[in-house]
Protein backbone atom coordinates (compact mmCIF):
# COMPACT_ATOMS: atom_id res chain seq x y z
CA UNK A 1 0.00 0.00 0.00
CA UNK A 2 1.44 3.38 -0.87
CA UNK A 3 1.93 6.04 1.80
CA UNK A 4 -0.95 8.22 0.62
CA UNK A 5 -3.50 5.41 0.63
CA UNK A 6 -2.51 4.33 4.12
CA UNK A 7 -2.64 7.86 5.51
CA UNK A 8 -5.91 8.70 3.75
CA UNK A 9 -7.48 5.56 5.25
CA UNK A 10 -6.29 6.69 8.68
CA UNK A 11 -7.77 10.13 8.07
CA UNK A 12 -11.13 8.69 7.03
CA UNK A 13 -11.21 6.50 10.15
CA UNK A 14 -10.37 9.43 12.45
CA UNK A 15 -13.00 11.62 10.76
CA UNK A 16 -15.59 8.89 11.24
CA UNK A 17 -14.88 8.45 14.96
CA UNK A 18 -14.76 12.23 15.46
CA UNK A 19 -18.12 12.57 13.77
CA UNK A 20 -19.61 9.94 16.05
CA UNK A 21 -17.98 11.49 19.10
CA UNK A 22 -19.31 14.96 18.29
CA UNK A 23 -22.81 13.51 17.81
CA UNK A 24 -22.96 11.72 21.19
CA UNK A 25 -25.29 12.99 23.86
CA UNK A 26 -24.16 14.36 27.19
CA UNK A 27 -25.72 11.48 29.11
CA UNK A 28 -23.90 8.89 27.01
CA UNK A 29 -20.74 9.48 29.05
CA UNK A 30 -19.51 5.88 28.81
CA UNK A 31 -19.93 5.81 25.05
CA UNK A 32 -18.16 9.16 24.77
CA UNK A 33 -15.25 7.91 26.81
CA UNK A 34 -15.01 4.76 24.72
CA UNK A 35 -15.09 6.67 21.43
CA UNK A 36 -12.58 9.15 22.76
CA UNK A 37 -10.17 6.36 23.78
CA UNK A 38 -10.50 4.82 20.33
CA UNK A 39 -9.85 8.18 18.66
CA UNK A 40 -6.90 8.99 20.88
CA UNK A 41 -5.23 5.65 20.18
CA UNK A 42 -5.76 6.04 16.43
CA UNK A 43 -4.45 9.63 16.34
CA UNK A 44 -1.48 8.81 18.57
CA UNK A 45 -0.40 6.00 16.26
CA UNK A 46 -1.11 8.04 13.13
CA UNK A 47 1.00 10.96 14.38
CA UNK A 48 3.74 8.59 15.44
CA UNK A 49 4.14 6.88 12.06
CA UNK A 50 4.03 10.19 10.24
CA UNK A 51 6.53 11.86 12.53
CA UNK A 52 9.01 8.99 12.64
CA UNK A 53 8.79 7.68 9.07
CA UNK A 54 7.02 10.03 6.64
CA UNK A 55 7.85 13.57 7.73
CA UNK A 56 11.61 13.06 8.18
CA UNK A 57 11.82 12.10 4.49
CA UNK A 58 9.58 14.95 3.31
CA UNK A 59 11.47 17.45 5.41
CA UNK A 60 14.63 16.82 3.43
CA UNK A 61 13.19 18.07 0.13
CA UNK A 62 12.85 21.80 -0.54
CA UNK A 63 9.39 21.39 -2.12
CA UNK A 64 7.87 19.64 0.89
CA UNK A 65 9.89 21.12 3.73
CA UNK A 66 7.67 24.04 4.73
CA UNK A 67 4.36 22.16 4.64
CA UNK A 68 5.96 19.40 6.71
CA UNK A 69 7.18 21.79 9.39
CA UNK A 70 3.65 23.16 9.58
CA UNK A 71 2.30 19.65 9.98
CA UNK A 72 4.55 19.00 13.00
CA UNK A 73 3.06 22.11 14.64
CA UNK A 74 -0.45 20.94 13.90
CA UNK A 75 0.29 17.54 15.44
CA UNK A 76 1.45 19.38 18.54
CA UNK A 77 -1.88 21.21 18.68
CA UNK A 78 -3.81 17.97 18.23
CA UNK A 79 -1.83 16.21 20.97
CA UNK A 80 -2.37 19.13 23.29
CA UNK A 81 -6.14 18.98 22.75
CA UNK A 82 -6.15 15.21 23.29
CA UNK A 83 -4.26 15.71 26.54
CA UNK A 84 -6.73 18.36 27.70
CA UNK A 85 -9.65 16.09 26.82
CA UNK A 86 -8.06 13.21 28.76
CA UNK A 87 -8.29 15.35 31.88
CA UNK A 88 -11.83 16.63 31.27
CA UNK A 89 -15.12 15.08 32.40
CA UNK A 90 -16.97 13.85 29.29
CA UNK A 91 -20.00 16.00 30.13
CA UNK A 92 -20.55 19.72 30.06
CA UNK A 93 -19.39 22.67 28.01
CA UNK A 94 -15.65 22.27 28.49
CA UNK A 95 -15.74 18.84 26.85
CA UNK A 96 -17.99 20.02 24.00
CA UNK A 97 -15.74 22.98 23.26
CA UNK A 98 -12.61 20.86 23.26
CA UNK A 99 -14.17 18.24 20.97
CA UNK A 100 -15.20 21.07 18.62
CA UNK A 101 -11.65 22.45 18.63
CA UNK A 102 -10.21 19.00 18.03
CA UNK A 103 -12.58 18.34 15.15
CA UNK A 104 -11.71 21.63 13.44
CA UNK A 105 -7.98 21.15 13.97
CA UNK A 106 -7.98 17.58 12.66
CA UNK A 107 -10.13 18.52 9.65
CA UNK A 108 -7.81 21.41 8.78
CA UNK A 109 -4.74 19.20 9.13
CA UNK A 110 -6.22 16.42 7.01
CA UNK A 111 -7.22 18.87 4.29
CA UNK A 112 -3.77 20.42 4.24
CA UNK A 113 -2.09 17.05 3.94
CA UNK A 114 -4.39 15.69 1.27
CA UNK A 115 -4.65 18.82 -0.89
CA UNK A 116 -1.17 20.33 -0.42
CA UNK A 117 1.34 17.97 1.10
CA UNK A 118 0.49 14.80 -0.82
CA UNK A 119 0.43 16.47 -4.28
CA UNK A 120 3.77 18.13 -3.54
CA UNK A 121 5.20 14.85 -2.29
CA UNK A 122 3.97 12.94 -5.31
CA UNK A 123 5.92 15.33 -7.52
CA UNK A 124 9.14 14.65 -5.59
CA UNK A 125 9.01 10.95 -4.75
CA UNK A 126 8.76 7.96 -7.02
CA UNK A 127 5.93 5.44 -6.78
CA UNK A 128 8.44 2.93 -5.43
CA UNK A 129 9.54 5.28 -2.67
CA UNK A 130 5.92 5.93 -1.74
CA UNK A 131 5.24 2.19 -1.64
CA UNK A 132 8.27 1.65 0.60
CA UNK A 133 7.20 4.42 2.96
CA UNK A 134 3.69 2.97 3.05
CA UNK A 135 5.02 -0.49 3.91
CA UNK A 136 7.25 0.83 6.68
CA UNK A 137 4.41 2.88 8.16
CA UNK A 138 2.01 -0.06 7.97
CA UNK A 139 4.48 -2.30 9.82
CA UNK A 140 5.09 0.29 12.51
CA UNK A 141 1.35 0.89 12.84
CA UNK A 142 0.73 -2.80 13.45
CA UNK A 143 3.57 -2.96 15.94
CA UNK A 144 2.13 0.00 17.85
CA UNK A 145 -1.38 -1.45 17.80
CA UNK A 146 -0.14 -4.73 19.24
CA UNK A 147 1.85 -2.91 21.88
CA UNK A 148 -1.13 -0.80 22.94
CA UNK A 149 -3.42 -3.82 22.99
CA UNK A 150 -0.93 -5.72 25.15
CA UNK A 151 -0.54 -2.87 27.62
CA UNK A 152 -4.33 -2.49 27.88
CA UNK A 153 -4.65 -6.10 28.99
Q: Least distance to Fe ion from the beta carbon of 42, Å?
A: 11
Shortest reach from residue 81's CB to Fe ion, in Å = 14
For residues 2 and 50, which CB has a smaller minimum distance to Fe ion in the complex?
Answer: 50
Taking CB atoms, the residue at the shortest distance from Fe ion is: 50
Of the candidates 42, 54, 61, 44, the one whose C-alpha atom is nearest the C-alpha of residue 3 is 54
| Cα(54)–Cα(8) distance, integer angstroms | 13
Q: Is the Cβ of residue 76 or residue 148 nearer to Fe ion in the bound state?
A: 76
Instruction: For Fe ion, give the closer residue by CB, 32 or 109.
Output: 109
Contact 7, 113 (CB under 8 A): yes
Contacts with Fe ion, residue ranges (CB under 5 A) = 50
**To the nearest whole angstrom, how small is the minimum distance from the Cβ of residue 103 to Fe ion?**
15
Shortest Cβ 32–Fe ion spacing (Å)? 24
Are residues 35 and 15 in contact, defined by beta-carbon separation less than 8 angstroms?
Answer: no
CA atoms within 13 A on the CB side of 30: 0
CA distance 64 to 50: 14
Amino acid sequence: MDAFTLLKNDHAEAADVLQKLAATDEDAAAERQQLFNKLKTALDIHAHIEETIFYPVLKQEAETREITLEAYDEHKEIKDLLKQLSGTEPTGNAWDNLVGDLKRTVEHHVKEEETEMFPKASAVFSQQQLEDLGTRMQQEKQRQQQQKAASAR
